[in-house]
Amino acid sequence: MSFADIVPGLKAQMPELRGHLLANQSLEELTWFRAGGPAQAFFMPQDENDLAYFLQNLAVEIPVTVIGAGSNLIVRDGGVPGVVIRLGRGFNEIKVEGGNRIAAGTAMLDVMVARAAQAAGIAGLAFFSGIPGSIGGALRMNGGAYGGETKDVLIEARGIDRRGAMRSYSNADMGFSYRHCGVPDDVIFTAALFQGRAGDPEAIAAEMAEIKGKREKSQPRNRTGGSTFKNPPGMSAWKLVEEAGCRGLKVGQAQVSELHSNFLISRDGASAADIETLGETVRARVKAHSGIELEWEIKRIGISV
């Protein structure tokens, strides 16, 4: 499937644009599931000013969708209408600051922030090494793993809203809760500042190695999207899925992992519809078995075919 090409018109309206703007760009290879349709227009801004310029000049009726590392994302097979924005090299700087602080662009992978903190002897950020995504996603979802959450270490975040205005948010402004933040969805996070504490680099490295070992032992590594469903209060999603008899369940070429039942796996030839239908089937079976309605943790975007 392909969309009407809106890129020439956008470029004509924005002669000073410096980033990459492409029509009908495939998103399949940008997701860990390796499935899904194209973006009608795909934009990778060069830096914050370029992103702000683009949004200031983009017609309000054109929808904007932001993607990150693609680690917890289903792009539906019909693709994504409007503009899909993905931050790249202009947003992946890491800087160690005084007072055991780390500044990072939101395109930077979480694990790289953990490694930079470890090298600088900054403790408290090792949990980021267990999150398979980027800092932008961690801010948007209050990403967490192995006893830590983004809300525990964030000082402030910076972003650009749909009108192209720069915004700044303190930790309190973020409205964090479990796998959620309260900042309006139209804000694109561009940078973050984190607070750690003084630590021993070797001890931090050992903590990160332990996290890596636990992940490799308990979680699938092939074409998955991370945790599929949020844990209900006081419960584990994986246990509810397993108790409902869904371990190993298949729909088309998508399968519930045999290793960890809160993970879905995309086999060769799996469509986004296979993956999403499998997730909905699991939700229905859990609801029927336990009365609990699981909530998706994986983000789903685009249109079905």
Going edge to edge, which strands form the sheet with 254-256?
250-251, 254-256, 264-266
Structure token digits, residue 303: 């249109």
Per-residue confidence (pLDDT) for residue 44, from 0 to 100: 98
Domains of the chain (ranges plus CATH)? 7-89 (3.30.43.10), 92-218 (3.30.465.10), 237-301 (3.90.78.10)
103 band by pLDDT with thresholds 50, 70 and 90:
very high
Structure token digits, residue 240: 């509810």
226 band by pLDDT with thresholds 50, 70 and 90:
confident
Q: Is the pLDDT of residue 1 over 80?
A: no
Residue 170 identity = S
Q: What is the mean pLDDT of the chain?
A: 96
Q: What is the pLDDT of residues 142-153, one digit of tens each?
A: 999 989 999 999
Residue 25's SS3 state is strand
Share of the chain above pLDDT 70, in %: 100
User: Locate tokens 């089937």: which residue?
Assistant: 281
H or E segment at 287? helix 272-290
In angstroms, the CA 27 to CA 272 distance is 11
Per-residue confidence (pLDDT) for residue 218, from 0 to 100: 85
Per-residue confidence (pLDDT) for residue 209, from 0 to 100: 96
Per-residue confidence (pLDDT) for residue 181, from 0 to 100: 97
Q: What is the DSSP letter of 260?
A: -
Per-residue confidence (pLDDT) for residue 219, from 0 to 100: 87
221 band by pLDDT with thresholds 50, 70 and 90:
confident
Q: What is the pLDDT of residues 49-85, one digit of tens each?
A: 999 999 999 999 999 999 999 999 999 999 999 999 9
Check if the beta carbon of residue 132 is closer than 8 Å to that of residue 154: no
pTM of the predicted protein model: 0.94
Q: What is the pLDDT of residues 247-273, one digit of tens each?
A: 999 999 999 999 999 999 999 889 999
Catalytic residue list: 179, 227, 297
Query: To the nearest 10°, the Cα dihedral for 163, 165, 168, 172?
Result: -30
